[in-house]
């Protein structure tokens, strides 16, 4: 698979970022620029079947982790401090377990190594996105209006619409979705699950939770500590699931301190 990456910064240790479902590496740009100013290099990764990375026939945490591992190796800057949010958190955890030699430290943002329910909401989002007739679409504003019934929250809708691209080159494809909606829809339950693995990552782990989020719960402590015995949990006040976008300055400072130790 071909994994698209963007490298920011020219010196210092490497921090690699994995985004969540329907995200892209560029979602981390603001955080990365702050960290570059603090002396780090930052690798922003588009996970397989997202952004400008290639589409595949299967979608699992292990397969995505393999793609990110290749990107880290190709950077020539391993081992890396590895950061993953939401789905990207599961990918990052799996990568650390499969390839510990590539990961100096791990930061897992508002995600746990457990199965999650509630994927029907994402299925509704995908149905709304696929229902838009891209062949007759006039502009992004029309797409936003067409998506409103399936995705009432304007913030979430705006996030999803970042996947809508317009190819205006001669003979180009016109409007298209960058994310592989068909495959993601098929694999939603698999992505929400956590596949048991007989491995332990012995390196330092920062487990960052949003104070108002329920993605990290007390009953998740044991599964996390079993796989990652050197886990330190930090709760960020006035933040929900999107910790890095709701409290970017706090997030960047905590991550910089963790990466520097």
- Residue positions annotated with a catalytic role: 86, 182, 241
Half-sphere exposure of 221 (CA within 13 A, CB side): 5
- Of the candidates 78, 157, 87, the one whose C-alpha atom is nearest the C-alpha of residue 124 is 157
Neighbour-count burial for 232-251, b at 16+ CB within 10 Å, e otherwise: eeeebeebbbbbbbbbeebb
d(CA 72, CA 102): 7
d(CA 33, CA 121): 32
Tell me if 8 sits within 8 A of 41, measured CB to CB.
yes
22 Rama sector, left if φ>0, alpha if ψ -120 to 50, beta otherwise: left
- Tell me how many degrees the CA angle 156-160-188 measures, rounded to the nearest 5: 95
**Residue bearing tokens 């990456």:** 5
Tell me if 94 sits within 8 A of 65, measured CB to CB.
yes
Helix axes 87-98, 61-75, angle to 10 degrees: 70
Tell me if 91 sits within 8 A of 191, measured CB to CB.
no
Tell me if 41 sits within 8 A of 7, measured CB to CB.
yes
**DSSP tag of 57:** S
């Amino acid at each position: 698979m071909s994994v698209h990456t963007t490298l920011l910064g020219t010196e210092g240790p490497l921090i690699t970022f994995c985004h969540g479902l329907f995200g892209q590496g560029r979602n981390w740009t603001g955080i990365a620029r702050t960290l570059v100013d603090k002396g780090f290099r930052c690798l922003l990764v588009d996970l397989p079947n997202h952004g400008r990375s290639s589409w595949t026939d299967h979608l699992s945490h292990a397969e995505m982790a393999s793609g990110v591992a290749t990107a880290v190796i190709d950077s020539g800057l391993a081992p890396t401090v590895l950061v993953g949010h939401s789905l990207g958190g599961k990918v990052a955890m799996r990568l650390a377990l499969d390839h510990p030699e590539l990961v100096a430290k791990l930061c897992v943002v508002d995600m746990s190594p457990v199965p999650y329910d509630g994927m029907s909401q994402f299925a509704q989002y995908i149905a709304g996105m696929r229902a838009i007739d891209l062949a007759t679409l006039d502009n992004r504003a029309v797409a936003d209006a067409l998506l409103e019934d399936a995705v009432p929250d304007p913030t979430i809708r705006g996030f999803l619409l970042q996947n809508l691209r317009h190819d205006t080159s001669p003979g180009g494809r016109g409007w298209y979705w960058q994310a592989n909606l068909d495959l993601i829809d098929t694999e939603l339950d698999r992505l929400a699950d956590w596949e048991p693995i007989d491995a332990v990552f012995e390196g330092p782990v920062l487990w960052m939770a949003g104070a108002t989020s329920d993605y990290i719960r007390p009953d998740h402590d044991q599964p996390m500590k079993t796989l990652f015995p050197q886990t330190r949990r930090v709760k960020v006040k006035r933040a929900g699931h999107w910790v890095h976008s709701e409290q970017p300055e706090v997030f960047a400072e905590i991550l910089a301190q963790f990466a520097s130790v």
